[in-house]
Amino acid sequence: MMYELPEELRLLRQTVREVAEAKIAPFAAEVDAAARFPAEALDALTGAGLHAAHIPDSYGGEGADALATVIIIEEVARACASSSLIPAVNKLGTVPLLLSGSAELKQKYLPPVARGEALFSYALSEANAGSDAAGMQTRAVRDGDWWVLNGTKMWISNAGVSQYYTVMAVTERDRGARGISAFVVEKTDPGVSFGEPEKKLGIKGSPTRTVILEDTMIPADRIIGAEGTGFKTALATLDHTRVTIAAQALGIAQGALDYATGYVKERRQFGKPIADFQGVQFMLADMAMKLEGARQLTYHAAALSERAMAGDKVTDLTFASSAAKCLASDTAMAVTTDAVQLLGGYGYTRDFPVERMMRDAKITQIYEGTNQIQRVVMARQLLKG
């Protein structure tokens, strides 16, 4: 068996890279410095149909499979990690609908996202319910033909920019995880507001804010799936979307490796390029080796994700997606740190992109489940056999 991407995916990579280098990369440093949303990237991605390519063509999307979506996110992240969260968060927010939403709910909310008229975020975490997401306190109470939501969701990517939100809330207080349900909340619903943007180490172009729900009334038909199935949907969603975080990490690492490789061929010390020194060569070799290993695992996990979305029984997706996210993000942190080292003092300054890449890489070890939690997930899967 030849482990090689088909031609259409190689062409997709080339297309996305051209868009990213021409229309996203030139703004990456300024987006980071100003901590502003990358509007240029949104325009470029929407214009090329890359902002939510995973949405099926039956809802006006591109119908890109999981591996194609990984390649899109990977190539955008190579240029600008903040911008890669546009397609990544759109997928995170809409996968619950694709997995569990009614036909009416899908038809109402997926086409606007596919057309680029709206972004879709995901609201699971709370201040005291991060790794222990089942400990959430946000409530949803049925009132006739309405649900009334009260609570605060924290660490929500693209909050305030996105028009739509998948929100997890407790509908039956005494049932633990089985008492959690999922809903679609709109930015314009009464009682919806947002906290101030978090002041972050990296991915500064993607706003991270709290979503505040105060007596927010939404129609009863905006529940995603049956009542009490929200946490199950949340976990199933993460099985698919951890792969996109792995893809983001790959892109960040690839960008750092590419820049460092070019730099060491130009930088001269002791009368020759530092690329001629074996110590530097060994660093580059280790960076590339780790990156390629993480890439192969990520692509494998993406293939499993696609099979699962198609309805196949896939027993090892949970392990593979956690392993891919964990390995790729640890690799991104290691590769970007080494890239800074290879640039020496220059790498430590904002005049060069690798310090930004190192800061951006850190979050990939934390969100969508810390890497410590990923190891818990993997161990449980192994012990279950």
CATH of the domain at 251: 1.20.140.10
Across-strand partners of 147? Answer: 142, 218
Identify whether residues 96 and 127 lie together within a single domain: no
Look at the chain and report how many structural domains it folds into. 3
Last residue of a domain, one of 228, 259, 284: 228
Identify whether residues 263 and 371 lie together within a single domain: yes
Classify the phi-psi angles of 324: left when phi > 0, otherwise alpha if psi is within -120 to 50, otherwise beta: alpha
| Average predicted confidence (pLDDT) for the chain | 97
Identify whether residues 94 and 143 lie together within a single domain: no
Q: What is the band of 4 on the pLDDT scale with cuts at 50, 70, 90?
A: confident
Q: What is the band of 1 on the pLDDT scale with cuts at 50, 70, 90?
A: very low
CA dihedral 227, 235, 209, 84 (to 10 degrees): -130
Q: Where are the alpha helices (DSSP H) in the chain?
A: 7-23, 25-34, 39-47, 66-79, 81-100, 103-114, 230-266, 278-309, 317-343, 354-363, 371-384
**Domain annotation covers residue 63:** yes
Structural domain containing residue 276: 231-384
Identify whether residues 269 and 368 lie together within a single domain: yes
* pLDDT given for residue 3 in this prediction: 73
Last residue of a domain, one of 85, 114, 143: 114
Identify whether residues 35 and 128 lie together within a single domain: no
DSSP state, residue 126: B
Interval 8-30: pLDDT, tens: 999 999 999 999 999 999 999 99
CA dihedral 66, 68, 74, 80 (to 10 degrees): -110
Interatomic CA distance for residues 357 and 77, integer angstroms: 9
**Domain annotation covers residue 187:** yes
Interval 350-362: pLDDT, tens: 999 999 999 999 9
Interval 292-318: pLDDT, tens: 999 999 999 999 999 999 999 999 999
**Domain annotation covers residue 380:** yes
Two tokens, residue 44: 């470029």
Interval 262-287: pLDDT, tens: 999 999 999 999 999 999 999 999 99
Identify whether residues 77 and 138 lie together within a single domain: no
Q: What is the CATH number of the domain that holds 177?
A: 2.40.110.10
Last residue of a domain, one of 94, 114, 134: 114
The reported pTM is 0.97
Interatomic CA distance for residues 325 and 336, integer angstroms: 16
**Domain annotation covers residue 1:** no
CA distances to 70, 129, 131, 156, 264 from 170, rounded to whole Å, are 32, 12, 17, 18, 54
Q: What is the CATH number of the domain that holds 45?
A: 1.10.540.10
Identify whether residues 76 and 136 lie together within a single domain: no
Interatomic CA distance for residues 43 and 62, integer angstroms: 17
pLDDT above 70: percentage of residues in the chain: 99
**156-173 burial: b if 16+ Cβ within 10 Å, else e:** bbbbbbbebbbbbbbbee
Identify whether residues 255 and 329 lie together within a single domain: yes
Is it the case that residue 127 has pLDDT exceeding 50?
A: yes
Residues belonging to the active site: 368
Identify whether residues 261 and 364 lie together within a single domain: yes
